[in-house]
Chain A
Amino acid sequence: AQRVTQPEKLLSVFKGAPVELKCNYSYSGSPELFWYVQYSRQRLQLLLRHISRESIKGFTADLNKGETSFHLKKPFAQEEDSAMYYCALLYSGAGSYQLTFGKGTKLSVIP
């Protein structure tokens, strides 16, 4: 069965320090992975998806199929990055596509 694991519930870093939010997945098919972010008092929104290979708000994430990982990285953390981050895997089953989410990591950037 498909599974997404985010090992850190809470991650605290100082402003200007590098950030890495870990995400590992298990899935027998071809994975499509996403990072969603939820800022305080805002709705959950897409941050980036691996097939786009883009950088959003300075964040990047590379899919490593060998290590089954999709870690989210940013070289210099900003206070406005403080939020809840969810890694998600899009998988197919019984003719439909569903997202399965990790349990989330709360990022706190210390001024």
Chain B
Amino acid sequence: DGGITQSPKYLFRKEGQNVTLSCEQNLNHDAMYWYRQDPGQGLRLIYYSQIVNDFQKGDIAEGYSVSREKKESFPLTVTSAQKNPTAFYLCASSMRRGIRWNEQFFGPGTRLTVL
């Protein structure tokens, strides 16, 4: 199914390497988000962007970086500075509703494993 796509589904990386996770949406949504999902921790917000060329740190931004050069794309780079990068990463998007926002729609996720 379309909407929001994330690639790859599984990703392996060696310690000390940066890696970029892809997130694309064709819903014409204004905002995009990156979450990290760990067992027993729920979802924690890494970064979000509500408009092209602008993004904000979430609760756990350290060791991550993002860009928003196009409305439909919001890639996440996991840098070597991230102390515990092995996790399931979820991308989401939502549409502006007046001064508020509609619910978020989620991608299928990328499971990153650091070897």
Chain B contacts of A65 at CB under 8 A? none
Q: Does A57 contact B (CB under 8 A)?
A: no
Chain B contacts of A103 at CB under 8 A? 40-42
Chain A contacts of B58 at CB under 8 A? 98
Give the contact-size bracket for chain A.
20 to 34
The A interface is mostly helix, strand or loop, or mixed, namely strand
Q: Does A56 contact B (CB under 8 A)?
A: no
How far apart sit A9 and B104, CA to CA, in the bound complex (Å)? 23
The B interface is mostly helix, strand or loop, or mixed, namely strand
Known A86-B42, A103-B41; judge A97-B104 contact (CB<8 A).
no
Chain B contacts of A6 at CB under 8 A? 42
Q: Does A45 contact B (CB under 8 A)?
A: yes
Number of A-B contacts (CB under 8 A): 43
A:18-63 near B, CB below 8 Å: 32, 34, 43-46, 49
Are A45 and B41 neighbours in the complex by a CB distance under 8 Å?
A: no
Q: Which of A45, A46, A98, A101 contacts B48 (CB 8 A)?
A: A98
Are B50 and A104 neighbours in the complex by a CB distance under 8 Å?
A: no
Q: Does B109 contact A (CB under 8 A)?
A: yes
Q: Which of B35, B50, B103, B106 contacts A43 (CB 8 A)?
A: B106
User: B34 to chain A: closest CB distance in Å?
Assistant: 12
User: B77 to chain A: closest CB distance in Å?
Assistant: 21
Chain A contacts of B90 at CB under 8 A? 44
Chain A residues near B (Cβ < 8 Å): 6, 9, 32, 34, 43-46, 49, 86, 90, 94, 96-104
Give 15 pairs: A residue, B residue, CB < 8 Å, sorted on A: A6-B42, A32-B100, A43-B107, A43-B109, A49-B103, A86-B43, A90-B101, A96-B56, A97-B100, A98-B45, A98-B48, A99-B45, A101-B43, A101-B44, A104-B42
